[in-house]
Structure 1
Amino acid sequence: MDRIVDITTDGCHLSRERGFFKVTKEGAEVGRLPLDEIITVIIHAHGVTVSGNLLAELGERVVPVVFCASNHMPRSVLIPIEGHHAQGGRMRAQLQAKTPLIKQAWKEVVISKIRMQAAALEAFTAPHAPLTMMARSVTSGDGNNVEAQAARYYWPLMMGNDFRRDRNSPDVNAILNYGYTVLRAAASRAIVAAGLHPTVGLHHSNRSNAFALADDLMEPFRPLVDCAARALADRNGPQVNTEVKHSLVRLIALDLPLGDGKTPMSVALTKLATSLGQSFENGKLTLALPRPPDALTLAGLGT
């Protein structure tokens, strides 16, 4: 079972003990979990200490450790430097990938994202046909910036006319921040496990962004977080409480249509990253991108 550990209590100490992730406070144990079940650790609290042995064990299992600010955005992410048996060759192929292949990869990612946005709007009975049309007009590298056009259409219908995506806003944006942090950590883990480097992106290329490729590959999955965030905000308001976090963390286990069957989101991210790595090596693009779940599933996220 894939689990995300979220540390929200101040003054905890995190350590390893005989294959377990152990949490203590003031010398007393308050929780433990098998290390092999953990895929991400997120730390929000103040005064948390972490043992070196635990970090080494998490690194061996390709588990990122995310340190967040008060707005639930990641401020630091620790990832292992070794995650795949063919990592050296695959990273060289990633760095030497030809521009046409990179642009085609970004085109497919954008199309997948817009189709997921269209499905999300349809699930909430909002007009979605314009997004379906936009997805058909994406060109190599998205030179016409259809992704941004789709976003301008999508957000008012998904979150309301007054909504603005602002990472520092305390409204539903705070819920989105947390959901995207979970998604970004899962994408980072998938990328390292596939032998790729998360800094070298397809489209995102900010010099200060160490996780550009994670930000690229998580794009098609973002609307799933949006659906859950909308439902959670409608029911409980904008606060990011324990219920909200649990609901968003559970998204990594959501079954998504992929290929001839269905696979959990965490596995879908791994398959996407692996397919990209293989595409870099082969020089021929074949991306394993998920299809949108049915409308009933999308409408039920976060409830």
Structure 2
Amino acid sequence: MERIVDIATDGMHLSAYRGFLIVAKEREEVGRIALDDVHAVILHAHGCTWTGNVVAALAERGSPIVFCNTHHSPVAVTLPIAGFHAQGGRMRAQWDAGRPLAKQLWQRVVKAKIAMQGALLAFHGSPAAGAFDLIGRRVRSGDPDNLEAQAARRYWPALMGPAFRRDRDAAGANALLNYGYAVMRATVARAIVAAGLHPTIGIFHANRGNAFALADDLVEPFRPLVDALVVSLVGQGVDTLDPAIKRRFARLIAFDVRIGEEMSPVSVAAQRLAQSLARSFERSIPDLALFAPPARAGWETLTRALDPFEDA
């Protein structure tokens, strides 16, 4: 089973030995995990060190290392140079894709995100949920009306309360969101490289300083899954990250979502989305494998109350 490895203790040292990721403190081993089982490493502690061998071993397996700041927001990610066997051809198709195709792809991503937001609000019985179906149907190619932002302005107050402001540098719920998004971003970035695509070349995000623009594009429909868990945790009085809460976020990659008639874990859904994007570039047809919003039972599973014995 793939696992998220979180490094939150200062002064840790990461190395590779005989197929294992070794975590040590002051030269004493404190933990190990098979490298083949590592989905991603999230590092947001001070004074940590690592060997070149462990970075190379993780890269060979397509497992990113995500470096976060003190607010748990990603600031850097390592990914392998080589990915899919036909990487060169797919990257060329990605680079050569015209703006009309990119705009149509972005339209589908925004529609999927807004549908997820509306479904989560409906699950919570919010009166604002009804507007999201209409907003989603109004999204045009490239979202020139910026309906994604208009939906966000309705979404956050309805979900988190009128006093809430999304601030990547704030504590509390914002820090929880940052961490959850880091997990999802790593999952999507890994899937993008495995599909033979370049994470810098986005379909919408195009900041010159953003090396993971495409990951920021494709992660959008996954964000409401994080939002759902954060709302649940805040409702249970959780406003800081501890090992048990981080494990809750890590398990999001195993949450099942529906793509067509099939159920797939989020980690597989990210892979299918990235592969479908690669085929869209190759065929010049906007055909993305996007998952449907969870049914009520799915939201209930995702947001179930903390079990005091679950992570003991």
Shared fold, TM over 0.5 = yes
Distance across 2 between alignment mates of 1:225 and 1:298:
11
Shift of 1:29: 1.2
Shift of 1:285: 1.7
Counterpart position of 2:179: 178
Distance across 2 between alignment mates of 1:94 and 1:75:
25
Shift of 1:237: 3.0
Partner-residue secondary structure (3-state), 2:236: helix
Task: List per-residue Cα deviations over 1:124-154 (Å, max 9, x = no partner).
Answer: 1112110011111110001111111111111
Distance across 2 between alignment mates of 1:209 and 1:180:
16
Distance across 2 between alignment mates of 1:225 and 1:299:
14
Counterpart position of 2:250: 249
Partner-residue secondary structure (3-state), 1:198: coil
Counterpart position of 2:229: 228
Distance across 1 between alignment mates of 2:266 and 2:156:
23
Distance across 1 between alignment mates of 2:109 and 2:277:
11
Counterpart position of 1:151: 152
Counterpart position of 2:308: none
1:169 is the counterpart of 2:174: no
Aligned-partner residue type, residue 271 of structure 1: R
Q: Which portions of structure 1, spanning 4 or more consecutive aligned residues, are displaced by more than 6 angstroms?
A: none
Counterpart position of 2:220: 219
Query: Identity of aligned pairs, percent?
Result: 53
Task: List per-residue Cα deviations over 1:56-115 (Å, max 9, x = no partner).
Answer: 110100111111110001121111111110111100100000111111000000000000
Counterpart position of 1:239: 240
Counterpart position of 2:113: 113
Partner-residue secondary structure (3-state), 2:70: coil
Counterpart position of 2:50: 50
Distance across 2 between alignment mates of 1:298 and 1:145:
27
Aligned-residue CA RMSD (Å):
1.0
Tell me if the contact between 1:5 and 1:38 (Cα under 8 Å) persists in the aligned partners. Answer: yes
Task: List per-residue Cα deviations over 1:162-188 (Å, max 9, x = no partner).
Answer: 111100111211100000111111111
Counterpart position of 2:104: 104
Counterpart position of 2:309: none
Aligned-partner residue type, residue 97 of structure 1: A
Partner-residue secondary structure (3-state), 1:30: strand
Tell me if the contact between 1:43 and 1:67 (Cα under 8 Å) persists in the aligned partners. Answer: yes
Partner-residue secondary structure (3-state), 1:42: strand
Distance across 2 between alignment mates of 1:285 and 1:133:
22
Shift of 1:218: 0.5
Partner-residue secondary structure (3-state), 2:139: coil
Shift of 1:301: 2.4
Distance across 2 between alignment mates of 1:243 and 1:94:
40
Distance across 2 between alignment mates of 1:34 and 1:126:
44
Give the direction of change, closer, same or farther, for the CA distance of 1:272–1:119 in structure 2 (3 Å limit). same
- After superposition, residues 2-151 of structure 1 pair within 5 angstroms as 2-127=2-127, 128-151=129-152
Distance across 1 between alignment mates of 2:267 and 2:248:
15
Task: Give TM-score, length-normalised by structure 1.
Answer: 0.98
Report the more deviating stretch, 103-112 or 37-46.
37-46
Aligned-partner residue type, residue 191 of structure 1: I
Distance across 2 between alignment mates of 1:161 and 1:148:
17
